Structure formats: C-alpha cells, structure tokens
Chain A
C-alpha cells in the first residue's frame, strides 16, 4: 500500500472533503505557516463551500482566510488563539457564525470526549516518511514539538500529513505515528523558517517590564513554592521570560533544584535545565532554534501532547502538577478575571492558549503586566472578555504594586511580611486612573462574533462585534 499522494488536491479528493465538513490544523508553524492557506486555496479552487476550520491557532499569515470567509468557502472557525489581522475582520462581523474559542487543553479534551469532531486533519510535518510517521524536530522547516497536533491526528476521521522533507521509511524518531495517518503529501515548502521560530528569544530590556518581572520573582520566592522540586511555566514575551531570569538567580543563590519547566519552551528555559535548575522540560511548543535543537538532542527535554499538557478530559494532565505559572493580560478586572482575547477597543487579537488551563491547574498563577500601557489602565471594572476566570488567578503584579486575590489570605500575609508593595486591586485601579484619567467605557455592538469556551467546554463569555464608525 502507499499513502503517498501527488498533491494536496489529490489528498483532498481522496479524503472525500465535502461542503459542510470540519478540517483541522495545528499552529507549530506559527506565523510562518503555509499549510492552512495551501489547503484552503485548493478547497476553494475545487468549489468546496461551508467548511469549518478548526486550527489550534490562527496567525496573521492566515489573512487569506478573510477572503475565504467572504466567499463562503469557510463559514465556521474554531481556535484557541487568533492574531490581530483575522481578529479584526471577525470583530467587524465578517463571519455569520460566532468563532468558537477554546483553550489548548480544552481543544484536546473536546476532541477526546467527542464534542469537537474533525473530519479531516491536515498536519504540517517538518519531516515524515511515506507511511506518515512524522516529527517536528528535523528538516528545513523544523518547529520542534508537535504537541498540539496529536489530538488532531488521533481523533480526526481522516488525517493527511503534509511535509517538505520526505525521508525513507521508517523515520527514526517519530512523534506522531503512521497508525493515525491516511495520506502523505510532499510539497516544496510547508512554511517560512524565518517566521516559524525566532533565532533567539531575548529577555526584555524594557525597564518597567524588568521591574515587574523582578517583583513577580519576589512573589514566587515568598510564596513558599520556590524549593527543591519546584515546577514552573512562563511565556516567551514581555516581562514573562524575565521572571525566569530572576527566579534562576534565586534558585542559584539558595541552591534549589527544580523538577520541571513546561509550556512553550525558549532557549532560556533550556539553559536553565542544562544548568541543573530543572530535571525535565515538558515541551508542547518550541519558540526558538535553541529549544528545537534541545528537544532533538536532550533526553531530559520531552515532547508532550496538548492532552498531556492540559486536557481536562484526561485522567491527569501536567498542569495539575504545576507549582507556578507566569501569565500576561491585556485587561484584568477588579474580580481578577483576565482578558487575553481582545485589545482595549474590543478587537480580537489573542486567545486563551494555555492561559486558563495553567491558571486552573497551577498552585500559583501570577499575572504580570504594566499597570498602564500607552495611557490605558490595565485594571478595569469589567473585562471586555473573560478569558480566564478570576477564581483561578492568584496574584497580579504591576510596576506600581501587587494585588493578591482575596481568597489567598495566607499568601497575602506572606507577601506583606516580605515587604512587597501589596495593594488592593481597587487601589491599583485608582492609582492608574489618577495618572491616566478615567477611560471612557468602550461600547460593543449587539452581534456575537465569538464564544469563549472554558476548558471544560462550558460557555465562559461571548465577544460582541466592534462598532465601526
């Protein structure tokens, strides 16, 4: 038998793609992904309509989606994150049906429990053999972990692997195995390597960001979780990665040996593990070249699926064993609810990703963000979109003070005792408004453009359209 087909078109034909079906994609190619556009262009050319696109994330490179929506090739979108380009069009109401937002764990869980059905999964694979064994670790478009793609391969009715690096059978180091794969297609390029990963992920040089990171690290230290066996997750952007730097200094000083670090992995976290600060790296996504090299070479560096990472449908997931997570926010409200879906004007420009999964699973969820961004106060009465429920958020760290969720009484006492600038969240809001003035509340339209599902599949919030003038 041969699974190898000559073209994307042939693969689409063989899978029997029809009007009204749901097709899925993973986002490990990030803003360098060619595969989603490639498949949709082909489907459009074949006259297929009414598709639902379930992509773990949608980036700016997927802008052609907008045209496919206009032409009714695509009539439904489900994702965990959506960049600003497509987000703007969605917010302006281009799509009839609301977008379904899930979390990384929730997407895997919903596929597992059958509430999210995929007809055909198209898997961008940086290397694959002719039977569909594939991996993200090798090849010109290497992306490292293929963590988010596992659920798609396992649960889709049909799975097509699309690769630009076909190797002889059997691929020596397989992530997703042939048992799940129906067809394999070789194409010239599955992505733009320069945009798949960054060369190196650098720690912010913004003084305010560093200040916030330093305060957040103090919170970690005085929370009591920073001891042998410590587990930690932090993002790659803004102040988040800088927290790792300060945490590392503390671990070094006090000779603390951590257990694991997790999440989207950067070279910085790899270095920390290599220096012995963490035993294991649990990697659902690589952010830079160093992380990719490490996941290829280093046995301590494990690829994990989105299920293992965060699925609430699994018997347990790694987030349940996580001590501390550092997360960002565009808005936080006085009840500690966090918005990472929209900007302050209500335009979609993000999504939960693993935000609410890790906040829920971890023992200590810390939000780091500047109290004011270009005049806009971080803290509002009511977030424009509830991405992560306030019950799961423990601390908000800004450059002008630290707010502790009132249900964390003991933690609050500890931080005050350590001399940290602990303030009520209302007080932080007031400080920001004294500096910036009280912002006028943004009024949203009446049309629901997106539904935000919590990790357990329940409806957490809806996003309304933006009124355009």
Chain B
C-alpha cells in the first residue's frame, strides 16, 4: 500500500528522523533536487547513517538518487544499497536502458555486500516527454520495477507548457503512465500537488488521480498526507461490501454453490480480487479493527 509517498530532504536530520511518524505509507529520502550540489556528499552520508541506525517500522523507505548523467548516482547507490532501503527512485528516466543500467549497478553493489540480487526494488520517476512515450518500455524493462511515478513539474517544462492546477497539460501523461503500468501488472503513482496551502485543490486533484487508476500520490508537504491518504483509502461502505463479499464466498463454499451472488449481482473473480485488496488495506490502515 502506497497511498502517500512523502518527499523528505536528504540533508535535514530532524525530518529524516521523524519521517516515519508523519503518516505517509512511504517516505522518499531525497538526494536529488532537495540537496544543493555542494551538500551531495553530506546528504548521502547522512541518509546512509540514518538508514543504518534508525528503525523505520511504520513505513516503506525509498531513496531518490541523482540522475545517471551526473557524477553522483553511483556513489549514491554504493552508499545506500547495503542498508537495504525498500526502493530506489532513479530520476529523469527516459527509457528501459536507463533502468537496466541502474539495475545492473545495483546488482553489483548487492553482490559486493552479500545481498541477494534484486533485493532492492526500483520506482522510476518519469518526467520527460521521451519517458512518457516509453512508459511501457520502462515498466517492462526490469523485474525490479514495481511501479511508475509521474513527475509533472519537469515533464511540463520539457513539454514547453505551463503546469496548472487543473492539470489538462498532464492528462495524457497520466493516463499513458497508468495504462503502461497496468499493462505490466504494476502500479502507477501520481505527481505531487505543489500548492502547499490549497487543501481543497489537493483533494480535487487527488480524487481525479484516483479516478484515472493511480494507486497513490507523492506529496511534498507533510500537511498533504492526511488528505491524500483519505482519498486513497477504502470508504466505510467499501469495507463493509468487501466483508460481505468474502462472507458470501464462505457461505457459498459451505453450501457447495458454484455461482455466488450478493445483492442480486453475481460475484466474479474481479469482484473477489477487489474485495481482497480492500480488506488488505483495511488491515493495514485500521489493524482490521473496524468491524
């Protein structure tokens, strides 16, 4: 479950240490844009040490590394991979080759530190026109890839258009990414909403992203976490329905029925799958104590 992915600046101890308490399902320790070039070394060492000595029992850890056309990305990987972050986020990904290049180097570091190859996953940040056009290529490039993540700011810059709150200019990129991800059986994650103060705009934007099929959304402000979590959480009635579905399945099995229906509607495989997903989320969010 990655309803929210919260960006935390990689060179700020207070944020890194408290990152797992801010309610986000995933936190992204950022070595890229949030760190100035002359502090790259400091941030890398700090993130490495934080991963080494602090436990983050409450959330998944992603490390965003510097782009592959910089001098930093290999050093970033060498420092953090041995500490087994859950996921690495390469940036400005514009094709499958780039993922394979990163994955191969990750494998080297994994091997050197006695880890099983493929332990650490990849969540590519797609933020160029070429990247969007090659979304399927990227999604299917490597078994480490667990999803696709759209970066709307850089993308619109690359498109020579203005980023707006309404988001017409990224509509194509959004749907293209979701479709490519789904085609490969992985998830897509939406670009952050950048107006930190506009909570209503955030909610609208998040609802829209959910309606397109995104499984979650990145946030750049901790204050956005609750709203995005709420939008991507199952509602009470969805949870109720999911329980009813599973109860009906149990009941049907007990009675030896082949075809099971609930509220006059046949329960087929996709409905069961959806119900299972909802119940998993319920358990993750409420500890299964809701009902």
Contact = CB atoms under 8 A, between A and B. Distances in A.
Direct contact of A and B (CB under 8 A): yes
Interface of A: 205, 207-208, 210-211, 214, 399-400, 416-417, 419, 434-435
Nearest to A400: B21
A211 B285 contact: no
A211 B21 contact: yes
B22 A207 contact: yes
Nearest to A207: B222
A399 B15 CA distance: 13
A211 B286 contact: no
Given A399-B21, A435-B17, A210 B289 contact: no
29 contacts: A205-B223, A207-B15, A207-B18, A207-B22, A207-B221, A207-B222, A207-B223, A208-B18, A208-B21, A208-B22, A210-B222, A210-B223, A211-B22, A211-B222, A214-B23, A214-B226, A399-B18, A399-B21, A399-B22, A416-B289, A417-B289, A419-B285, A419-B286, A419-B287, A419-B289, A419-B290, A434-B55, A435-B17, A435-B54
Contacts of B221: 207
A22 to B, nearest CB: 46
A215 to B, nearest CB: 9
B3 to A, nearest CB: 15
Contacts of B22: 207-208, 211, 399
A359 B285 CA distance: 32
A6 B8 CA distance: 62
A205 B223 CA distance: 9
A211 B287 CA distance: 19
B27 to A, nearest CB: 11
Nearest to B6: A207
Contacts of A417: 289
A205 B224 CA distance: 12
Contacts of A210: 222-223
Interface of B: 15, 17-18, 21-23, 54-55, 221-223, 226, 285-287, 289-290
For A207, A208, A214, A417, which residue has the most chain B Cβ atoms within 10 angstroms? A207
A211 B224 CA distance: 11
Contact of A211 (B15, B23, B54, B290): B23
Nearest to A416: B289
A434 B57 CA distance: 13
A400 B23 CA distance: 10
Contacts of A211: 21-23, 222
Contacts of B290: 419
Nearest to B287: A419
B274 to A, nearest CB: 22
Given A210-B223, A419-B286, A434-B55, 6 more contacts: A205-B223, A207-B222, A207-B223, A208-B21, A399-B18, A435-B54
Contacts of B285: 419
A419 B284 CA distance: 10
A378 to B, nearest CB: 13
A214 B22 CA distance: 10
A435 B18 CA distance: 11
Contacts of B222: 207, 210-211
Nearest to A370: B18
A400 B18 CA distance: 9
B203 to A, nearest CB: 12
Contacts of B55: 434
A399 B24 CA distance: 13
A434 B285 CA distance: 25
Contacts of A207: 15, 18, 22, 221-223
B5 to A, nearest CB: 15
A207 to B, nearest CB: 3
Nearest to B226: A214
A158 to B, nearest CB: 52
The 7 closest A-B pairs by CB, nearest first: A207-B222, A399-B21, A419-B286, A208-B18, A419-B289, A207-B22, A211-B22
A211 B22 CA distance: 6
A214 B229 CA distance: 14
B282 to A, nearest CB: 10
A435 B20 CA distance: 13
A96 to B, nearest CB: 42
A208 B22 CA distance: 7
Contacts of B18: 207-208, 399
Contacts of A205: 223
Contacts of A400: 21
Contacts of A416: 289
Contacts of A214: 23, 226
A118 to B, nearest CB: 46
A244 to B, nearest CB: 16
B16 to A, nearest CB: 12
Contacts of B23: 211, 214
B33 to A, nearest CB: 19
Between A208, A417, A434, the greatest number of chain B beta carbons within 10 A of the residue's beta carbon is seen for A208
Nearest to A434: B55
Nearest to B196: A205
A208 B17 CA distance: 11
Contacts of B286: 419
A435 B57 CA distance: 13
A198 B38 CA distance: 39
Nearest to A398: B21
Nearest to B19: A207
B232 to A, nearest CB: 17
A208 B18 CA distance: 7
B279 to A, nearest CB: 15
A214 B289 CA distance: 20
B56 to A, nearest CB: 11
Contacts of A419: 285-287, 289-290
B287 to A, nearest CB: 6
Contacts of B17: 435
Contacts of B54: 435
A207 B210 CA distance: 25
